[in-house]
Structure 1
Amino acid sequence: MERIFKFKYGLNSIDLKLPQSKLIKEIKGRQDHKNDLISLTKNALENPIESPKLSQIVKQGEKVTIVISDITRGWQKSNLFLPFIIGELEEAGIELADITILAAVGSHRFHSEAEKQTLIGEKYYGKVAFKDHNCHNKDELSYLGKTSFGTPVYFNRLAVESDRLILTGGIVFHDLAGFSGGRKSLLPGIAGYQTITKNHALSLADKRGEGLKKSVDSNHLVDNPVHLDMAEAAALVKVDFIFNVIPDGRGGIAAAVAGDLIAAHQSGCEITSRLFGIKMRQKAELVFASCGGYPKDINLYQASKALVNAAQLVQKGGYLILFAECKEGIGHPEVEDIIQNYNDNLAREDFLRRDFTISRYTGYLITTAIAEIKLILFSNIERKILSNTEIEVIRTKADLNKILTNRFKELPDFYSLPDAANTLPIFED
């Protein structure tokens, strides 16, 4: 019997008719929530973790900076939860003129006016100040010292000098930091470029040819130097309150946590592991995966999160079919450079060790993730951009059906990952 499998692709979806009998497992997060984001937000703000309520922290006349994630993390739905945070500040006597929204763009691009409105929401757009963080402008940064890892800590001056600092964001698995959210709103979110690159370079193994440290991976915190460095850097600035959401894998929100930077974030990480850390025993010859649609597949840079997760399920020599629209292409010229202009991963590693940047790291991560498998990228990305790789770019279901027919006498057993960006296979020993 055949079944229709839906894979989100940009703002649409690709429907594939595949034999149900060949499906090993459809890997999804656990859908055990019943509340909408508004209910979750209210509950989290009413019951902060190891912290007073926000209204009990702030005082009339204080300047407040609220850090939010950039448009590539639009799934967090900041336009829906910000009104409750700002509303609580207003009730505590904070004037709108004393509130600034600071977008934690890290080293990403700035926002258009339309994107700013999308992030803030209609109620407060134009009524509170909005600023994009600029990691390259030293005049907008404050130096706070060095971590034990040798990372010079530069954070956005506005955030550092505010009377109150509130961090918002989302918690998912992260291939560098273990989990996103919490301290990541600071580093890389509102950090200086030198701080970001030094921190992320801690991912490289000590010896040439070994690539990346094994401890730097999704779901790893305890022995992860990238996370530990972030935590040390975060301790150098006073964070008064955080609010983080956890996605549900269907375009909604499964949970929300608020309160103390460390305690609330830890609680959110535990929820994420429980919902989206899927224990597995075997790999497969064929895996179909979607990033989860826009904005998770806005470009290859963002799609890399899903690619890395899904690739772990593919056996050596097997195939990963990844649905990623990538309407903005690669996402950064440095990603394209390290993918296209180096012939093997050792050469890419050498270049990364000489001149580490986050974008080059992402390009290197992509090529190492698929080193022993075959990637079929269903995408609008230009084929020539990836011509120096073995990645096959296709655009239509007809192209895909042709590949499946030509490569396999009979379709092998397969996994389906409809939201690979948020779902992490965890192999049991």
Structure 2
Amino acid sequence: MAEFNIVKVPQLAWYGDTELDLELPSRWDVTICRMRGHSKLPLTRSEIEGAFRHPIGSPPIRELARGKNEVVIIFDDLTRPTPVAEIVPHILDELEAAGISDAHIRFIAALGAHRGLTRIDFAKKLGEVVVDRFPVYNHNPYENCTFVGETSRGTSVSINSEVMSCDLKIGVGSIVPHAAASFGGGGKIILPGVASMDTIAANHALAARARERGRSGSMTYGLGFEENELQLDIAEAAQMAGLDIKIDAIINDRREITALFVGEPLVTHLEGVKLAKESYATEPVADRDIVIANAYSKATEPFHSSPLGARMLTEAGGVLVIIVNTPEGFISHYLGGSWGRGIGGRYWQRRSRLLSRIRKLILVTEYPDRAQADRIAPLDSITWARTWPEALEHLDKDYPGEAQVAVIPDATIQYLPE
């Protein structure tokens, strides 16, 4: 009888946050590649309160809010791991202390080019009490955006008109590695979060321009933050839009808040990124026959798992296994997603081949999404498996003997430092 070792990986973010047991043959040499901050303890309520009492580069929200008429709280969507419901009560306490009544507060989901959220989604992100108490809106990137100016890089910036009608703007999100902007968080709550589609497209185009000039801006994942073209453009747009306060979380491998940065958006983001670089950094391993890349925190965007996993494979080529379990499927992306067999958003590109070093790609999911999976690889190059045992059957055939294996618990937010 075959002997197995069990490795647990997190799954089903926003849908129960459970664990999946991976049975791996004991004949395989397995390395678990965890991010450095994976086991950090979550903040206590008093520690979160402390972040609000002592913001970075800004007076507390209760002081900023005095004399203000209308408040907007902008929050990230389900593609990001931020447990916003744990943060919002502290914001509301600050606003109440400033004398701001509920009638003058609204929430807006920073969708960028993503699909709109449902009430069920709002409740997952904000908590039922908040959804019952306040109006919560989706951002519409195609209409009702107000022009606020042009960045020094030539991006024409138009921002959600409801956001711009408010004289106190508060953003809530998290800092995690990002494919084109090096790290998320900070001003991304504004651009792309609540920007017009034309503004989003112009900002994203900077990645291609930077790549042509050999500078940072494409497939950065935690690298080159300080000189990143998109990031610099985003920070400028956030200032133009008048974002007053940004709240950014750092999380562990269970989506728990391990650090919270509150304050002036630019300074707060810079401070947060310093810790993010350490928390999400992953010690590299090389020459693996099999890499198992689990998509958890950003499970609706599992294509983020491919570059990290591919880099750990042997140069001769190996098998990349991406595990992605999310009942809603992959995120609909109006700018970069496919909208038919041969059509897509203005930045959609048909994948023509697997990434270098990937000889075979196995996609493990109970919820196949055969429309959006082309953002990972050409559809005809994907081997589908609904369960881990089914995937293991494929791997056993390819590697009946020994194999060098790496397991990445959350390949959507981990990165390899330089």
- Answer yes or no: same fold by TM over 0.5: yes
Q: Please identify runs of 4+ aligned residues in structure 1 that moved more than 6 A.
A: 210-213
Confirm whether residue 17 of structure 1 aligns to residue 20 of structure 2: no
Matched AA of 1:327: P
Question: What's the Cα RMSD here?
Answer: 2.8
Aligned partners of 1:237, 1:93: CA distance in 2, in Å? 24
Confirm whether residue 405 of structure 1 aligns to residue 396 of structure 2: yes
In structure 1, the residue matched to 2:321 is 321
Matched AA of 1:402: E
In structure 2, the residue matched to 1:111 is 117
Residue from 24, 37, 41 that aligns with 1:34: 41
Q: 1:243 to 1:368 in 2, by over 3 A?
A: farther
In structure 2, the residue matched to 1:345 is none
Q: Deviations over 1:291-341 (max 9, x none)?
A: 12xx632x3xx1122333333322331111110124334433876649964
Of stretches 268-277 and 280-289 in structure 1, the one that deviates more from structure 2 is: 280-289
State whether residues 27 and 401 of structure 2, in contact with CA within 8 Å, keep that contact through their aligned partners in structure 1. Answer: no
Aligned residues: 401
TM-score normalized by the length of structure 2: 0.87
- Offset of 1:203 from its aligned partner? 1.5
- Offset of 1:110 from its aligned partner? 1.6
SS of the equivalent of 1:131 reads: strand
Residue from 377, 387, 409 that aligns with 2:363: 377
Q: Deviations over 1:179-234 (max 9, x none)?
A: 11110000000000000011112222578xx7996543122222221112112222
State whether residues 147 and 233 of structure 1, in contact with CA within 8 Å, keep that contact through their aligned partners in structure 2. Answer: yes
- Offset of 1:245 from its aligned partner? 0.7
State whether residues 7 and 289 of structure 1, in contact with CA within 8 Å, keep that contact through their aligned partners in structure 2. Answer: no
State whether residues 244 and 257 of structure 1, in contact with CA within 8 Å, keep that contact through their aligned partners in structure 2. Answer: yes
In structure 2, the residue matched to 1:262 is 266
Aligned partners of 2:112, 2:199: CA distance in 1, in Å? 10
Q: Deviations over 1:151-205 (max 9, x none)?
A: 1101112222311111111110001111111100000000000000111122225
Matched AA of 1:328: E
In structure 1, the residue matched to 2:158 is 154
TM-score normalized by the length of structure 1: 0.85
State whether residues 28 and 403 of structure 2, in contact with CA within 8 Å, keep that contact through their aligned partners in structure 1. Answer: no
- Offset of 1:409 from its aligned partner? 3.6
In structure 2, the residue matched to 1:79 is 85
In structure 2, the residue matched to 1:136 is 142
Within 5 Å, which residues of 2 pair with 1:11-410?
Answer: 11=16, 12-18=18-24, 19=26, 22-31=29-38, 33-36=40-43, 38-73=45-80, 75-137=81-143, 140-204=144-208, 215-216=217-218, 217-219=220-222, 220-280=224-284, 282-292=286-296, 296-297=298-299, 299=300, 302-316=301-315, 317-332=317-332, 337=338, 341=342, 356-357=346-347, 360=348, 370-373=355-358, 374-379=360-365, 380-382=367-369, 388-410=379-401
Q: Deviations over 1:362-415 (max 9, x none)?
A: x65xx6772441321112315686574412111133322221121124231111
State whether residues 141 and 194 of structure 2, in contact with CA within 8 Å, keep that contact through their aligned partners in structure 1. Answer: yes
Matched AA of 2:76: S
Matched AA of 2:31: I
Aligned partners of 2:409, 2:256: CA distance in 1, in Å? 14
- Offset of 1:9 from its aligned partner? 3.6
State whether residues 375 and 392 of structure 1, in contact with CA within 8 Å, keep that contact through their aligned partners in structure 2. Answer: yes
Q: 1:417 to 1:107 in 2, by over 3 A?
A: same
Aligned partners of 1:94, 1:368: CA distance in 2, in Å? 55
Aligned partners of 1:211, 1:410: CA distance in 2, in Å? 46
Aligned partners of 2:153, 2:353: CA distance in 1, in Å? 25
State whether residues 32 and 409 of structure 2, in contact with CA within 8 Å, keep that contact through their aligned partners in structure 1. Answer: no
Of stretches 59-68 and 323-332 in structure 1, the one that deviates more from structure 2 is: 323-332
- Offset of 1:254 from its aligned partner? 1.4
Q: Deviations over 1:15-48 (max 9, x none)?
A: 2222386023432332463343533421210121
Of stretches 384-393 and 217-226 in structure 1, the one that deviates more from structure 2 is: 384-393
Aligned partners of 2:91, 2:262: CA distance in 1, in Å? 11
Matched AA of 2:362: I
Q: 1:372 to 1:56 in 2, by over 3 A?
A: same
SS of the equivalent of 2:397 reads: helix
Matched AA of 1:227: Q
State whether residues 8 and 323 of structure 1, in contact with CA within 8 Å, keep that contact through their aligned partners in structure 2. Answer: no
SS of the equivalent of 2:381 reads: coil
In structure 2, the residue matched to 1:5 is 7
More helix by share: 1
Aligned partners of 1:128, 1:78: CA distance in 2, in Å? 15
Q: Unmatched 5+ residue regions in structure 1?
A: 343-351
Aligned partners of 2:415, 2:171: CA distance in 1, in Å? 25
Aligned partners of 2:331, 2:71: CA distance in 1, in Å? 32
Aligned partners of 1:389, 1:338: CA distance in 2, in Å? 18
